[in-house]
Amino acid sequence: MRFQLTSLLALATVSIASPTWQAFEDWAKGAGGKSAPDHTSPRPSISCHPKSPHVPPPSPPPRNKVCYVQSHNDGVTDDSTYILSALHSCNNGGHVVFREGIKYTIGTALDLTFLEHIDIDIQSYIQFTNDTTYWQANSFRFIFQNVTSFFKLGGNDVNIYGGGTIDGNGQVWYDLYASNIYTLRPVLIGIDGLHNSILSNLVLRYSPEYYHFVANASNVVFDNINIAGASKSVNVAKNTDGWDTYRSTDITIQNSVINNGDDCVSFKPNSTNMLVQNLWCNGSHGISVGSLGQYVGEYDIVENIYVFNASMHNTTDGARIKVWPNTPSALSGDLQGGGGSGKVNNITYDTMLIDKVDYAIEVDQCYGQSNLTLCLEYPSPLTITDIVFKNFNGKTTSKYQPEIGTFACSSSAVCNNIVASNINVVSPNGTDLAYCLNVNETALDVTCSTLYKGFN
């Protein structure tokens, strides 16, 4: 990895957080007692292309001081105190550096919602401890499903980059969850109230659950994120979504590679003005709207979503909209619901490569309910309107052959203007059948079928 070398004298102010001073001074002496060079990474230049988000992406100003984070560098001892010290010291106008070649260990739940006008330069390897008892008792809980996080990232004008790795130590969690599905597994990056910020050039590995949970956020860009972390035992890494957005607006996710075991991206309740482009997704459950309508009395909105140029490989779905029916249903012991209302409106999936995908397109208003009769008897009150699927190419797997997709609404009253055009996707035997229920079949560039293999 290359970094710009600039004299510290070129910076207006240089601040070394107090716990790092001795380590940095020793390093400088080791360099012959000369002025220490600048070990900051150049800030990436981020642009949103070819599609543009609803609002201009953040343009952070220069920072005027630098803080280097000290570490015990033994892979065991908690470095959280050092990390907090550097972040507080360089908050409001500084540049915090996790230096290349040093390992940092986090064993304490960190509330980082105080951050303002700061660059966080992760050149190194950061790993969370495997103390599942501590994390279940102390990780931060969100109000959606069973989401908890190692830390809460929030604030304004936060710029995180550097090319380093953040490791969630997920294997211990995959094994624990296999023995107890009620285990509270932290997400790797929990965002709560982050605004006008950019996360880019990061490697994320072995998250216990979701890699990102983005809540109560606005105008945040994710660029060049590399996600992977399969289980090394017989116990599968489950629910490892790449991104889940929740009560957030104007989020851009782009130019990233995701190897995971659940949704590549999922737009949870009250996600609006989202742009997703230039993704390579492998092993996932697709790019999904939902699941929605899970909680009685809640009104869920997902609106103004544009997904462009997604490459889907070895996934259960390509483009997916999943809504709970208006009756209690249980997808699994720790995931159940139904009876909520809301709307899904103005969603576009444009240009998608389908490579060994079970369903290229899935619109499902019976999520979690395997009994079609019961689902139709209690149709969802959540409306699905102005949905476009276009420019799909490729081949599905044989799992649902001869079907390549499904357009299943629980009632024609709640589904309007669902359009599929230029759909050049076939199953292995060359068919392009799709199950169609309570939708306008003439607007769909597929051969509609009455057979639905998606239900057991």
Alpha carbons 169 and 93: distance in angstroms, whole number: 32
Nearest in space to 188 (alpha carbons), one of 161, 200, 206 = 206
Nearest in space to 365 (alpha carbons), one of 324, 331, 326 = 324
Which residues partner with 347 through β-bridges? 305, 387
State the amino acid at position 323 in one-letter form: V
Dig out the tokens for 148 from the structure: 């908890």
Q: Which residues are catalytic?
A: 285
| Distance, first Cα to last Cα, the chain | 51
Please write down the HEC assignment for all residues of 392-423: EEEEECCCCCCEEEEEECCCHHHEEEEEEEEE
Alpha carbons 63 and 114: distance in angstroms, whole number: 17
**Helix, strand, coil percentages for the chain (3-state, nearest 5):** 10, 45, 40
Nearest in space to 221 (alpha carbons), one of 278, 288, 151, 275 = 275
Which residues partner with 317 through β-bridges? 359
Q: Are 291 and 322 in contact (CB under 8 A)?
A: yes
- How far, CA to CA in Å, does 23 sit from each of 16, 39, 99, 127? 10, 14, 12, 21
Alpha carbons 242 and 250: distance in angstroms, whole number: 17
What pairing do the DSSP bridges indicate for beta strands 329-332 and 271-282? unpaired
Q: What is the DSSP string of 320-379?
A: EEEE--SS-EEEETTEEE---EEEEEEEEEEEEEEEEESEEEEEES-TT---HHHHHHS-
Nearest in space to 213 (alpha carbons), one of 142, 307, 284, 294 = 142
Alpha carbons 150 and 190: distance in angstroms, whole number: 7
Phi, psi of 117, rounded to the nearest 5 degrees: 50, 65
Other beta carbons within 10 Å of 152: 23
